[in-house]
Amino acid sequence: MIKMFVIPFLILLLVYYPFRSILNWLLYVTFSVSYFTWLYITAAWGEYSVYLKNMYLIILGISIFLSCIFEVKREPTLHKKSMWLPRVLLIIISILQLIITSYFLNILKAPENERGISLALPFKSTGTYYILHGGKNEAINYHYTDLFQKHAIDIVKLNKLGATKRLFGSSHPLNEFEIYNEIVYSPLRGKVVKVVDDLIDQPYKSPDKDHLGNLVVIERQGVYVYLMHLKPGSIVVRSGDTVEEGQELARVGNSGNSFEPHLHMHAVRKENGTAISIPMYVEGRYLKRNDVIGINGP
């Protein structure tokens, strides 16, 4: 909350700060661009509304424009001598901030030198699907620190306001979440090698940390694809079944170690007896936080 709402507004208020030189102003601009880029990339906007992130960019643009106008008016105070050290420092800090910004942008790229698997989107219903966690950095994907599921994605669905659930109110029943009870389809052709279907759905924000969740694992050519947190009693395949891509498997629930209803998906390959997560290309895309996949109606 602080990083998404408090700090940005403090930064925007700085536009009224009396910049004593163009370098002061440059520092403000590079700092705010750097912070907003980081926020734009790393915040899980779907928790509030994905439309907010675009609004923030517009506000940032306006604030830079306004500060530029204010600064031009203060031009006469610029030409003081004996200020070279602070000036050099300001330039160095500004350049560093731009370098940091380019690092943020870099985490959005797909991983290189890792063999991945191509999968279909496991949903077919009309609507807007959204990646809550995913990508090749901890800042956008909390799974990333775990070798077993580092390239995992958590998929939810957005309502008309661009959020995963109703925004206000203290309690959030599971059926308030747009993704809850959505039919999950197999993202690949393969063999079902594991099914767990005996766990209950957890209430919102009450994960069962001792269990992964109800799940289906599908194997193809040594790659195992995990689909987790399924709704109890919804799984329609059995261990040993061969499934086609696009075949119905289950429904989205909130079983096991899950904060809110979503579909967790990851793929592993065994290397020297250890299951290691590999990149997934869903409909050709390496999905990361804030990616959106729309399915249009008929």
- Separation CA 136–CA 161 (nearest Å): 28
**Which of 264, 200, 203 is CA-nearest to residue 234?**
200
Minimum Å distance from CB 166 to Zn ion? 22
Please say which residue, 23 or 151, places its beta carbon nearer to Zn ion. 151
Minimum Å distance from CB 241 to Zn ion? 24
Shortest-Cβ-distance residue relative to Zn ion: 264
Please say which residue, 28 or 129, places its beta carbon nearer to Zn ion. 129
Please say which residue, 234 or 258, places its beta carbon nearer to Zn ion. 258
201 lines the binding site for Zn ion (CB under 5 A): no
Residue selected from 264, 268, 282, 287 as contacting Zn ion according to rule CB under 5 A? 264
- Separation CA 268–CA 280 (nearest Å): 10
211 lines the binding site for Zn ion (CB under 5 A): no
- Separation CA 32–CA 50 (nearest Å): 20
- Separation CA 139–CA 50 (nearest Å): 18
Please say which residue, 231 or 264, places its beta carbon nearer to Zn ion. 264
CA dihedral 96, 99, 105, 107 (to 10 degrees): -90
150 lines the binding site for Zn ion (CB under 5 A): no
Please say which residue, 165 or 264, places its beta carbon nearer to Zn ion. 264
Local structure of residue 5 (DSSP, 8 states):
I
154 lines the binding site for Zn ion (CB under 5 A): yes
Q: What mask of x and - would describe binding to Zn ion in positions 222 to 261, judged by CB under 5 A? A: ----------------------------------------
Residues 6 or more apart in contact with residue 221 via CB below 8 angstroms: none
- Residue 32 contacts residue 14 (beta carbons within 8 Å): yes
Minimum Å distance from CB 244 to Zn ion? 25
- Residue 143 contacts residue 257 (beta carbons within 8 Å): no
Q: Which residues bind Zn ion (CB under 5 A)?
A: 152, 154, 264
